[in-house]
Amino acid sequence: VEFDGPCMKTEVPGPRSKILAQQLEGIQSVNRMLDVYTQTASIPIGYNHPALTKVMTDPKNMGTFVNRPALGMMPPEQFFEKLVNGLMAVAPKGFSWVQTMACGSCSNENAYKAIFIWYRNKMRGTSEPTPEEVRTSVINQVPGCPDLTLLSFMGGFHGRTLGCLATTHTKAIQKLDMPSFDWPIAPFPQLRYPLDTFKRENAQEEAHCLEEAEDLIVKWNQKGRHVAGVVIEPIQAEGGDNHASFDFYRKLRGITKHGCAFLVDEVQTGGGSTGKIWAHEHWGLDDPADIVSFSKKMLTGGYYQKDGFQTDMPFRIFNMWLGDHTKNLLLTEVIKVIKTENLLDQAKRSGKVMLEGLYNLQVIPPPLPLSRARGIGTFCAIDVKVEDTCNNLILKARNKGVVLGGCGTQSIRFRPALVFTEHHAHLFLDIFNDAIAEL
C-alpha cells in the first residue's frame, strides 16, 4: 500500500511493547511509523521490500540459507555471478577487486591488514619474508610484527574491535580501559555551517588540519614508526556528522603520496543516500582511494582494493566465513532496485527538500536553538544546542510517528532508506516542526 503518513494509535513504546520490554524483548510496535533512522542507516530500500522477500522465498536459495558456506574454501555456485551483478556492478571507478567480509569492523580490520602487508612488501622490496621475520611474527615481536602505524582523525569512527578502535576517536566510553596502539591522530576540520557562508574561515581551518596531517606523517616516518596508511570517512558520522570540503579530501589524497595507502571508510556513507553510491565520488578525483570499505546498507561487509593490494599469498587475508552469502543474494536485488527505480536521483531530490526544510527551521520563529543544518543527499543532520532538548525532541518526534537518531552529543542525524521520497521529506518536516513547536 502507498504510504500516506504515520498513523499513531498510542505513544511509543506502545502498550504491547511495554509488556514485551518487561521480558527484555524490546520494542515491537503496532504503530505505523516513518523511519528516518533505519537501524542506523542499514536498511537500504525500506522494510519488507518485495524484491527481497522474493529472494528469501526462492527455493533455489534455500541451500545457502540453511548451510552457510565458508566462502573462502567452498564458494557456492552463484558466488561469482552475484559478485559481478552485486558488488562489482557498483564498484567505484578504478577498482577491480573486492573482498567480502561480514561487518564494518572486520571490513576495516582486514583493510588495515591489506595495507600493512602492502607497505611491508614495499619496504622489503619483496613479499618473501626473512627467517627472522617468520620466527618473530608468531610471538608478536619485531621485525615479523613491525611497528607500523595508521593515521586517523579526531572524531573518526571505524569500528570497535581493537585494531579498528585504535583509529576510532569519538566517545571515551567506547575506548576507556582498552589497551591500544600509539598511532598518530590528526585534527579533523571543525567547519562552520552553512559551508557557503563561511568559505574563507573553513578553508583556513582545513589548511591547518592538512598541515598537521602531513607533519605527523613526515615525523612518524622519520622516527621509524612508518605511517602505512591514512583512514578517513567522507562524512564523520558517529562523530557528529562532521563534513569537510571536497577540496580538503583532494588535498589529503595528495598528502598520502608520502607513501601511505589511502583508505576511505564508507561503512555509513556508502550505499546511495548521498545521491551517489559512494560519497567519495562527489570529490571528483580520478584516483580517490586505494581501498574503500563498506557494510550497513550494502548488507554484506567488505572492501574494494586497487591492484597491488591483493595479497600475494593465500590465507593472509582470510577468515572462517568471509561474509555471509545470503547478504550477497539480497544485495544483488537491492542494486537492481536502486537502478530500475532511479533511487539515487530520488535521494538527491528528497535530500534537497529535507535540507532546505532544515535551513528554514533554523531561521524561522519559534527561535529554537537549532543550528548547523548540513548534508549531502538525504545524509543530513542538524544540531540542537542543549543535549536534553535534543533527546526531548527525538522523543517527541517518535511519539508523533517519526523515528530519529542522535549522533555526537547534540546532533540529530537523518538516515532514511533510499525509498524515502520528496513526499516523505515533506511529511517528516511537518511532523518535526510540530514536535519543535511543543518543546
Residue 317 interacting with ligand FES (CB under 6 A): no
- The residue assigned the cell 555509513 is 268
Binding site partner of 140, from its own copies, ligand FES, none, Cβ cut-off 5-8 A by kind: its own copies
Nearest to 133 by CA among 142, 124, 123: 142
Q: Which is nearer to ligand FES, 105 or 350 (CB)?
A: 105
Cβ(112)–Cβ(229) under 8 Å?
yes
Q: Which of 325, 335, 337 is nearest to 301 (CA)?
A: 325
- Whichever of 240 and 323 has its CB closer to ligand FES, that residue is 323
Query: What is the nearest approach in angstroms of ligand FES to the Cβ of residue 106?
Result: 3
Query: Is beta strand 379-384 parallel, antiparallel or unpaired with respect to 370-376?
Result: antiparallel
Question: Is 323 or 377 the residue whose CB approaches its own copies more closely?
Answer: 323
Please tell me whether residue 102 binds ligand FES under the rule CB under 6 A: yes
Exactly one of 1, 2, 4, 182 binds its own copies (CB under 8 A); that residue is 182
CA distance linking residue 276 with residue 345, whole number of Å: 8
* Binds its own copies (CB under 8 A): choice among 158, 169, 374, 413: 169
Integer CA distances (angstroms), 201 to 72, 242, 246, in order: 50, 16, 16
User: Minimum Å distance from CB 42 to ligand FES?
Assistant: 14
C-alpha 114/C-alpha 363 separation (Å) is 48
Least Å distance, CB 99 to ligand FES, is 13
User: Nearest distance from residue 249's CB to its own copies, in Å?
Assistant: 23
Residues between 320 and 349 that touch its own copies (CB under 8 A): 320-321, 324, 326, 330
Which phi and psi (to 5°) does residue 96 adopt?
-110, 0
CB of 309 to ligand FES, least distance (A): 19
Phi, psi of 326 (to 5 degrees): -50, -40
What would the 3-class secondary structure string for 9-27 be?
CCCCCCHHHHHHHHCCCCC
For ligand FES, the binding residue among 41, 71, 106, 329 (CB under 6 A) is: 106
Using CB under 8 A as the binding rule, the residues of this chain from 68 to 87 that contact its own copies are: 68-70, 73-81
Q: Which of residues 52-71 bind its own copies (CB under 8 A)?
A: 52-53, 55-57, 62-63, 65-70
What distance in Å separates the CA atoms of residue 120 and residue 139, rounded to the nearest whole number?
18
> Between residues 270 and 377, which has the closer beta carbon with respect to ligand FES?
270
Q: How far apart are CA 164 and CA 109, in angstroms?
A: 6
Listing from the earlier edge strand, what are the strands of the sheet with 379-384? 370-376, 379-384, 411-414, 405-407
- Considering beta carbons, is residue 391 or 433 the nearer one to its own copies? 391
User: By rule CB under 8 A, what count of residues binds its own copies?
Assistant: 102
Pairwise CA distance, residues 208 & 148, whole Å: 25
Q: Which of 1, 172, 222, 257 binds its own copies (CB under 8 A)?
A: 172
> Residue 103, interface with ligand FES (CB under 6 A)?
yes
Min. distance of Cβ 70 from ligand FES in angstroms? 14
Q: Is 171 one of the binding residues for its own copies (CB under 8 A)?
A: yes
Binding-site partner at residue 78 among its own copies, ligand FES, none, CB < 5 to 8 Å by type: its own copies
Interaction of residue 347 with ligand FES, rule CB under 6 A:
no
Helices 50-57, 325-340: crossing angle, 10 deg rounding = 150
Binding segment (CB under 6 A) for ligand FES, from list 36-44, 97-105, 118-126, 243-251 = 97-105
Q: Which of 105, 170, 273, 350 binds ligand FES (CB under 6 A)?
A: 105
Q: Could you tell me the smallest distance in angstroms from the CB atom of residue 200 to its own copies?
A: 30
Candidate residues 235, 299, 402, 412; the one interacting with its own copies per rule CB under 8 A:
299
Q: Is 362 in the site for its own copies (CB under 8 A)?
A: no
Per CB under 6 A, which of residues 150..209 are in contact with ligand FES?
161
Residues 402 to 431: which contact its own copies by CB under 8 A?
none
Q: Which stretch binds its own copies (CB under 8 A): 241-249, 311-319, 356-364, 407-415?
A: 311-319
Determine which residue in the list 2, 138, 223, 363 makes contact with its own copies, applying CB under 8 A: 138
Q: Which does 146 bind (CB under 5 to 8 A by kind): its own copies, ligand FES, none?
A: its own copies
Q: Which residues make up the interface to ligand FES (CB under 6 A)? A: 102-103, 105-106, 161
